[in-house]
Chain A
Amino acid sequence: MFVEFFYKLREAGIPATPTAFLTLQKALSKGLITSLEDFYTASRAILVKSERHFDLFDQLFAHYFEGAEMPDTESLELDEMARALLDEWLKNPKAIAEAFGVDEKSLEKYSPEELLEYFKKRLEEQTERHDGGNRWIGTGGTSPVGHSGYHPEGMRVGGESQNKSAVKVANERRYKDYSRSGPLTHSSMGEALKRLRNLVPSGPKDQVNVEESIYQTMKNAGEIEIVFDRRLKDRLKVILMIDNGGWSMDPYVPVVQTLFNYAKSQFKDLKTYFFHNTVYDRVWEDPSRYKKPFRVADFARKDPETRLVMVGDASMAPYELMAQDGSIYATERSGLPSIERLRFLANTFPHNVWLNPVPERMWPYTRTITMINQIFPMFELSIDGLEGAVTQLMAA
């Protein structure tokens, strides 16, 4: 019968349906299942409909039938977080030490195992998310780790930004289970590409219009006249603007570029420009942002039907966006605040979206994201977000 097992599965969050359970009963009553092994494969094939739940099912099965300990997911999570911290520590001891508000030296005397324990303890103390504080990892605060709220050029003197470690550690762990809505990675590339393929409304004249053919044939006194239809519209031009200026964008730039390059063949024209944090007088055609500048004002001459895709975390100090000389580069002093430039772009290309790798639920914590969101429809840089963005771009 295994009713209890069924409910255990549901409690654990596996969406097994009663119908599926009845199917399992049918299999049992038919005598198809004669051993525990049979039961394992049969119940999994019948009850669990997604590989994402396989692991959970395995744990539960072992627990129910073999009396194995149910792994405590909470502490497992902590364990992995601590381990990630340890990895970071090995790479960049100073940032981690600062994150905990302790001296680098005092942590150095620990062995790796001890460090692990220490991190775990500290993580347990910190049981909830923390935003805007000054002690712990979170967003928008003044803690040395965390993201946004910095002058982007201030902290860094070459090399990797130190912020990255904390956000990486804190975010990676917590969104682990949301892989579908989580940021785009190379592994989800194929899936993302499929979404992007919807961006193509073109086609040859290859559809037989049956109604019209019959009508024309009749009109022609029975002489056959076949009418073909073209699928409407021409191929699209796409402008891709990527913020490649910050640590936070680094992992996503290659992904986004590869993605659009693969989709290139279906566009009439794909142009990629780069900017840092936000757009001022110029954007650049080269990723290093100094060889080939392109004046933003010149975009007015481009086809307004072009689809504009902005990619960036939209996180910066508010004055970079609002002030007349907000640019972090001294050479860019045109007197127009960046937000005006963004408005100009959005007006020039009415079909526009902004893709943001920052998870959507974090957006309200960063003021500049909220402001830019009012200019560009913003979507998360994830498979679901991409789907929404494509719909937005294709809307008439």
Chain B
Amino acid sequence: MSKNGDIQEFTGASRYVLDQELARIVNISMSLEMPLLLKGEPGTGKTMLAHAIAESLHMPLIVLNVKSNMKLVEALYQYDTLTRLNDSRFGDSSRDVSRIEDYIKMGKIGQAFVAESRTVLLIDEIDKADTDFQDDMLDVLDQMEFDIIEVDKTIRAKHRPVIVITSNAKKDLSDPFLGRCNFHHIAFPDPKMMKKIVSVHFPDLDDEIMDNAIATFYKLREIDVVEKKPATRELINWIRALQMDPDFKPKQLTKGDIPYLGVLFKKSQDYVNAGNYISRRKLF
């Protein structure tokens, strides 16, 4: 990576274990001013990456959580007709009913555009929305401007935000969408990497707990009758739970006695299935 004077470089954050490859991709995307599309299993740290970028570059983070029925305009701005209707009826607010602009609220993308400093814009789980939303949104991000129809005004980005987009889908996104992003797929961390990640969160964790917990965790991930496999987040919470328990002995885990399954498996069906699986394994 060459140091181009004014270009800020991302090198990791305090609570995030970054691999070199991903760091390079983030930096290239930032200097090319292209959105970075991250795919990968839940729990591989896609969302965390955006937090880490924001932290290390000291930029504010704006998160747009995409919902399935979301319209693009909601992400840009909102014209609050109901409040205006209410104000016009009761007239007891400080807003000026005749000024539509008073009733325009910026959505997440809008906020990133009008922010006074460069921001990190995280668009989380883009795959939830339909294709039209995705394509239209990239148009906006490409041009770095959008119109507010109600007041006939164009909002232009003051600073081009660093855009990180995440997707859980196994299905590919549309071609025009992909064409405008850089792409990276984050693989689920291997046990070695996981150890690093855990030690970032628990700097003084006992080695025995660490090894046993991680080994058990990967074994539990192999159960294939569960819908949602436990991910990094669950592992960290689980270790926290194990630490809190004064009666817990790391040896228990190797014998197939696994406490706090509910921290790892959060769907009742999964919980039951995993429990059955473990008790069956114990018999052998």
Residues of A within 8 A of B (CB): 15, 17, 19-20, 23, 26-27, 30-34, 37-38, 41-42, 45-46, 48-51, 54, 180, 186-191, 193, 208, 210, 213-214, 217, 222-224, 226, 254, 258, 261-262, 383
Contact = CB atoms under 8 A, between A and B. Distances in A.
Given A261-B269, A262-B267, A23 B34 contact: yes
Contacts of A223: 89
19 contacts: A23-B32, A27-B32, A30-B4, A31-B2, A32-B1, A32-B27, A34-B1, A42-B25, A45-B28, A48-B183, A49-B178, A49-B181, A180-B170, A190-B168, A190-B228, A213-B85, A224-B89, A254-B225, A258-B269
A39 B269 CA distance: 46
A29 to B, nearest CB: 11
Given A31-B2, A189-B227, A224 B86 contact: yes
Given A37-B24, A41-B25, 17 more contacts: A23-B32, A30-B32, A34-B2, A38-B24, A41-B21, A41-B28, A45-B25, A45-B36, A46-B183, A48-B183, A49-B183, A50-B183, A51-B185, A180-B170, A180-B171, A222-B89, A224-B85
A258 B183 contact: no
A88 B25 CA distance: 43
A26 B32 contact: yes
A140 B2 CA distance: 63
B171 A258 contact: no
Interface of B: 1-2, 4, 21, 24-25, 27-29, 31-32, 34, 36-37, 39, 81-82, 85-86, 89, 168-172, 175, 178-179, 181-185, 224-225, 227-228, 267, 269
Nearest to B182: A45
B179 A19 contact: yes
B24 A54 contact: no
Nearest to B170: A191
Contacts of B1: 32, 34, 38
Contacts of B29: 45
Contact of B2 (A32, A48, A187): A32
Contacts of A189: 227
B138 to A, nearest CB: 13
Contacts of B175: 15
A26 B1 CA distance: 15
A190 B31 CA distance: 35
B184 to A, nearest CB: 5
B31 A32 contact: yes
B85 A217 contact: yes
Nearest to A54: B185
Contacts of A193: 227
B79 to A, nearest CB: 10
A290 to B, nearest CB: 24
A41 B24 contact: yes
Nearest to A41: B24
A51 B39 contact: yes
| Closest CB pairs A-B (n = 4) | A51-B185, A49-B178, A45-B182, A186-B224
A189 B89 CA distance: 51
Contact of A383 (B39, B171, B269): B171
B183 A208 contact: no
A186 B85 contact: no
Contacts of A32: 1-2, 4, 27-28, 31-32
Contacts of B183: 45-46, 48-50
Contacts of A23: 32, 34
